Amino acid sequence: MNFSSYILRRVVYALIVLVVIVTINFFIFRVMPGDPVRMIIDPKWTPEMKAALYEQYGLTKPLHEQFFIYLKSLLTLDLGLSFTSSRPVMDELLERLPNTVLLLGIALFIEILIGISIGIFAASKRGSSIESFVTGAGLFTHAVPTFFLQLVLLLIFGFVIPIFPIRGTMAAPPPVGGWAQFLDRVHHLILPVFSLVVINFGSWALYTRNAMVEALGQDYIITARAKGLTKKRVLRHHAFRSILPPIVTLIFLSLPSIISGAVVTETIFSWYGVGRYLLDATMKQDYPAAQGAFYFIALATIICNFVADIVYGLVDPRIRVGGGEGK
């Protein structure tokens, strides 16, 4: 198996997942109680007017035809109009996307930086208290519900000691001037980012620590040490280098769950993002919006998984140079 056929397989696989998700998305919203048109029409309308609306939305066509129309509109990224705002769902999502990317991106960057540093440090100091700290932080990630930690932070720093804003992406009305606006954005970002970092850095630290410990036990490390290289150099240039590929892959693999988690974080901090849009739309039974947001999130997930596979292929020489079974 060479690299291009590996990519091809991954593309096909990503497409299969996409088709499954699109199909689920289509049928979920067709089997639910009530029908979408009923949500937007006035009860005073005559049956003829209702029929015209059904016609307009293509709901009189057979199901398979509706499905193909739906597929076509998804491929052209036309997600329809929101019932509640009557604006194109795609526009609404694109408007919110930068906020979500900003929040999740900054949080991910910081938690990886902190997590990996602590993980390496813990691996270099076996049996010290820093090791049990890393284990504890990893457990914390598993057992503490993110939303609970966020609520507690909100209670402490938003209400008891009100030093951070309790809701929103920026102040309303936004402050005048580029610098003031920037500071305002940062002010609103601190609490949600901090909560995500506190929850998640532990699992990065634990993973890095375990991978480092394993790497440090390898023969080539012992050789490097025997050559007289400093401990620091061996740690950085030999051991860490070797665990970098799986970590990079893991970063991409973690993106889907991070995107999933955005729903809760954005809801708690009233963040103007894609995740909260999905929940709001679901709550308001705004089906085109909910469906569109879900498609959007699922698409992002598939792309992240695909990129993770490609990165994995790139960093794993067995796949890149075409070793293994097929050669």
Partner 1 sequence: MKKRGFWVNATKFCREFISKPQGRLGLIILGLFIFVAVAAPILTPYDPIDDLYLAEGMAKPAWAKVLPGNSKLPVTVHTRLGFNEWQVASGEDLHNAEEIKENAFAIKTTPGEFSKLVHDVNYKTDPPGNFHFETRYSIDASEETTTVLAFVIVDPNGKEWRLWEKKIFGSLKPQDLLIDSRQLDLKTRLGLTIFDEASKVIFAKKGQYKVLLRAYSEGEPAIITMEPVAVNIQGKLHGVLGADHMGGDLWSQLIYGARISLIIGIVAALIAVFIGTAIGIASGYIGGFVDEFFMRLADVMLSIPTMPVLIILSSLIGKNIWNVVILIALFSWTSTARIVRSQTLTLKERAFVEAARASGASKTYTMLVHILPNVIPLVFAALVLLIPGAILYEATLSFLGLGDPTTPTWGRMLHNARSFGAFTMRAWWWILPPGLAITLLSLSFVFIGNTLDEILNPRNKERA
Stretch that binds partner 1, among 69-77, 126-134, 169-177, 273-281 (CB under 8 A): 273-281
143 contacts partner 1 (rule: CB under 8 A): yes
Stretch that binds partner 1, among 11-19, 84-92, 119-127, 183-191 (CB under 8 A): 11-19
52/155 with CB nearer partner 1: 155
Residue ranges in 32-145 assigned as alpha helix (H): 36-40, 47-56, 63-75, 89-124, 129-143
User: Binding residue for partner 1 (CB under 8 A) from 134, 263, 289, 310?
Assistant: 263
Interaction of residue 11 with partner 1, rule CB under 8 A: no
- Cβ 171 to partner 1 shortest distance, Å: 19
Handedness of CA 13, 305, 139, 203 (dihedral sign): positive
Decide: is 307 part of the binding site for partner 1 (CB under 8 A).
no
Closest CA to 1 of 287, 313, 217, 225: 313
- Verify binding: residue 261, partner 1, rule CB under 8 A: yes
Q: Is 129 helix (H, G, I), strand (E, B) or coil?
A: helix
Q: Which stretch binds partner 1 (CB under 8 A): 76-84, 111-119, 197-205, 289-297?
A: 289-297
Q: Does 44 sit near partner 1 (CB under 8 A)?
A: no
Query: The tokens 């025997």 sit on which residue?
Result: 226
Query: Which CB, 59 or 264, lies closer to partner 1?
Result: 264
Cα separation, 208 vs 244, whole angstroms: 9
Residue 192 C-alpha from the chain's centroid: 15
Residues 6+ apart with CB under 8 A from 283: none
CA dihedral 188, 192, 194, 198 (to 10 degrees): 170
Q: Which residues bind partner 1 (CB under 8 A)?
A: 13, 16-17, 20-21, 24, 28, 31-33, 139, 142-148, 151-152, 154-155, 158-160, 166, 256-257, 259-261, 263-264, 267-268, 275, 278-279, 282-283, 285, 290, 293-294, 297-298, 301-302, 305
